[in-house]
Amino acid sequence: MPLKIKNQTKKKGEIPIPAIIPESEVEAASLEILSELGYDYLYGPDIAPETEDAEREDFGIFILPRRLRAAVDRLNPKIPAGAREEAIKKVLRAESQDLVHNNRAFHSMLANGVDGSRPLQW
């Protein structure tokens, strides 16, 4: 579904912003930026549940647990394994039924560290 952007008044010399940007263009631009930052891209069906290279049990799981653990271990080798595992459990556990609340809590953990543990690098 295309993303809709409010029409803006064009000022002299400005490039007009299209009223609709297709989701595929937003995705392509995002993947290009992330690739330039050094992130890898995996095609969803290649790591889908019930495939040879599955990285999640179902599509409701949006964080890839093995990759999260590997990154936390690689970036935080001096923090005890138990503390790293507790932090990972907190990240993977939803606090609420409210998506906005969960997004804010997740952002806070990324920006400020996980409560009750030493600050981790993400």
What does the pLDDT look like over 71-92, one tens digit per residue?
999 999 999 999 999 999 998 8
Cβ atoms of 51 and 45 closer than 8 Å: yes
Cβ atoms of 7 and 19 closer than 8 Å: yes
Output the pLDDT for position 114: 82
Q: How far apart are the first and last CA of the chain?
A: 32
Q: Identify residue 75 by its one-letter amino acid code.
A: L
In tens, the pLDDT along 29-59 reads 999 999 999 998 888 899 999 999 999 899 8
- Mean pLDDT across the chain, nearest whole number? 84
| 40 or 116: which leads in pLDDT | 40
Output the pLDDT for position 112: 85
Output the pLDDT for position 82: 92
User: For residue 53, what is the DSSP state?
Assistant: T
For the whole model, what pTM was predicted?
0.64
Q: What does the block give as tokens for 59?
A: 């599509």
In the numeric block, the tokens 């936390």 are attached to: 72
